[in-house]
Every structure is written in structure tokens, then in C-alpha cells.
Amino acid sequence: MASMLTQFKVKDFSEWKKVYETKKDFRVASGALSSQVYKDAADPNLVTLIFKWDSLENAKKFAASSELRSAQQAAGVQGLPSVSFLSEV
């Protein structure tokens, strides 16, 4: 099983979360098995996501997709997200 850790800053967490929730079907169709959303205790607009994926290949495809970039832009993601692909040991 593969995981993906993503961190980024958003303009407004509440607005970002609304867009994020509308994209659940896209994430599932892309191979996401689960996700966890965190916001930084000191900065509520700093978001951390941890996803479980059915494969590392699907996680990488999702991260590189134009649909994800469009959703991030619509949700107010600022700058480039930090993305790490992880393998469970």
C-alpha cells in the first residue's frame, strides 16, 4: 500500500475544505482508499493531507493530474504543495 503526504498553504481553510469535499469522487476514482486532513495548530491555513492509495503509480498520477491542479487553484492553494510518496514498512 502506498501513501502520499501533502502540505500547502491556503488562502482560507473553510473555503478550501468546501472544494476538497466536492472532489471525493475524483480521489476515489483515482485510487485513493482513505484520507486524513490536518490543519496546523499555529496556522489554520497550513494544511497537511495524508492519503492511502491502492498503488504508488495511481498516487503519482493523481498528484500530476491537471484536474488536481485546477481544484487546487479553485480552492485557494497558495504556491506549490510539498508532496512526498511513502511506502509502508
Does this model's pTM top 0.85? My answer is: yes
Strand partners for 34: 52
User: 81 falls in which pLDDT band (50, 70, 90)?
Assistant: very high
Q: What is the mean pLDDT of residues 70-89?
A: 95
pLDDT in tens, 39-68: 999 999 999 999 999 999 999 999 999 999
pLDDT computed for residue 40 by the predictor? 97
What domain range includes position 19? 2-87
Find the CATH number of the domain harbouring 17.
3.30.70.100
- Residues 15 and 76 sit within 8 Å (Cβ to Cβ): yes
Q: What residue spans of 1-89 are helical by DSSP H? A: 13-22, 24-29, 56-64, 66-75
The domain total for the chain is 1
Residue 29, C-alpha cell as written in the block:
476514482
The one-character DSSP state at 1 is: -
**C-alpha cell of 78?**
497558495
